[in-house]
């Protein structure tokens, strides 16, 4: 055998062929490892301590101005008018190519853009085909932008996978509206026989994972799901996006955005499009925050004075007042954020965060020592 190998390499023709094959093999193997390394780099999320709070989330100060749609006026109660409303759309690849300048000219002020989805029958997580052109086009046109992910996670591991996929997609864009977990498939497809408790766990896993990177989060679902399927007690304090395609919704729970139609027509979009109202917006001046409407949502809470250092036990919401019944969210702070607690009530703690007095749920913090 050894003599046979020596004879091959002494033959110049065979030696060249073998050398060429060996070089090609080395190039292929090297390329494979380089490609794998690049892919791992692009899919790896930065450690939490490298990311700060992305933006602050504040009540709306925009004066109410009627949008040219009389079908919704019956649902805008005085408490919402006191904060002002904003009108928007949500889009995906189903809307095709969109002329965002024309959309902006209609009076639409925000767009919720699908960034991705998980299959309802299979298990693959997929980027929306028009996500990048939509978020770039809407942003360039001057619209506020948020994103949503259509989730079908069967367990918390899959929900975290969906969250990390979402963060990887949005990390290079500036969002001015929340990151939404869209859950509307129940007891069918891959979620058949998945119980309410598990789905609620998955919603929490997604929102808390995304929130840990500093993004404001929101939950989207339809009226019956919010009323009967999801455990809303465990989702207290979360922003809610209600889907109920009626002229006047009778949903009694708290919600911060309302998708009131799935058949809107907006200049710049060739297909039907979902229409939405949000009951919040962003402001630059904290002094412009509008107080709660007279006689509603009293925030007279008695606090016992304390002075102690506390730390968040998970991604948590901070508020301008000790209640979740009005749009008063300032933002989301990361796990292990240290604050000075100056008062404690039955449900909320008064704390100093970044030099400002804010409020946080007692269950979301613990003593540092």
pTM here is 0.66
Instruction: For residue range 82-110, list pLDDT tens digits in order.
Output: 445 678 999 999 999 999 999 999 888 89
Is pLDDT at 42 greater than 70 in this prediction? Answer: no
Instruction: For residue range 121-133, list pLDDT tens digits in order.
Output: 888 899 999 999 9
pLDDT score, position 216: 85
Only one residue has tokens 């889009």, namely 91
Mean pLDDT of 104-123: 91
- Sign of torsion, CA 289 290 292 294? positive
Is pLDDT at 114 greater than 70 in this prediction? Answer: yes
Q: Cα separation of 111 and 347, whole Å? A: 34
Give the end-to-end CA distance of the chain in Å, rounded to a whole number: 73
Report DSSP letters for 234-288, one per residue. Answer: TTTT-EEEEE--SSS----S--SEEEEEEEE--TT-SS-EEEEEES----S-GGG
Only one residue has tokens 């997580």, namely 125
Q: Cα separation of 151 and 118, whole Å? A: 6
pLDDT band at 350 (very low <50, low <70, confident <90, very high): very high
pLDDT score, position 263: 87
Instruction: For residue range 223-268, list pLDDT tens digits in order.
Output: 999 999 999 989 988 889 999 988 778 888 888 888 988 888 899 9
Is pLDDT at 138 greater than 70 in this prediction? Answer: yes
pLDDT score, position 140: 97
Mean pLDDT of 10-33: 60
């Amino acid at each position: 055998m050894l003599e046979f190998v020596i004879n091959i390499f002494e033959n110049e023709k065979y030696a060249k062929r073998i050398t060429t094959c060996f070089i090609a093999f080395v190039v292929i193997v090297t390329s494979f490892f380089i490609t794998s390394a690049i892919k791992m780099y692009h899919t790896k999320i930065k450690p939490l301590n490298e990311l700060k709070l992305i933006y602050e989330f504040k009540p709306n100060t925009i004066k109410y101005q009627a949008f040219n749609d009389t079908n919704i006026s019956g649902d805008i109660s005085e408490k919402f008018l006191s904060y002002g409303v904003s009108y928007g759309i949500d889009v995906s690849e189903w809307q095709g190519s969109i002329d965002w300048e024309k959309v902006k000219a209609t009076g639409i002020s925000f767009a919720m853009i699908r960034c991705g989805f998980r299959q309802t029958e299979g298990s693959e997580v997929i980027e929306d085909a028009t996500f990048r052109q939509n978020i770039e086009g809407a942003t360039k046109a001057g619209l506020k932008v948020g994103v949503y992910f259509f989730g079908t996670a069967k367990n918390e591991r899959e929900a975290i996978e969906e969250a990390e996929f979402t963060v990887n997609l949005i990390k290079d864009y500036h969002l001015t509206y929340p990151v939404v977990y869209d859950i509307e498939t129940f007891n069918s497809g891959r979620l058949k026989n998945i119980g309410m408790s598990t789905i609620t766990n998955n919603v929490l896993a997604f929102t808390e994972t995304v929130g840990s990177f500093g993004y404001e989060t929101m939950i989207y679902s339809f009226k019956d799901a919010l009323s009967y399927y999801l455990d809303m007690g465990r989702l207290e304090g979360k922003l809610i996006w209600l889907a109920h395609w009626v002229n006047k919704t009778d949903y009694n729970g708290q919600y911060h955005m309302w998708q009131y139609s799935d058949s809107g027509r907006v200049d710049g979009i060739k297909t039907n499009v979902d229409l939405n109202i949000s009951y919040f917006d962003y402001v630059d001046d904290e002094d412009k925050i509008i107080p709660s409407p007279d006689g509603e949502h009293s925030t007279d809470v008695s606090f016992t004075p304390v002075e102690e250092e506390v730390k968040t036990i998970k991604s948590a919401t901070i508020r301008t007042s000790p209640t979740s019944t009005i749009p008063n969210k300032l933002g989301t702070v990361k796990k292990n954020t240290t604050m000075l607690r100056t008062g404690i009530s039955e449900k909320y703690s008064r704390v100093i965060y970044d030099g400002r007095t804010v409020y946080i749920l007692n269950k979301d913090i613990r003593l540092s020592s």
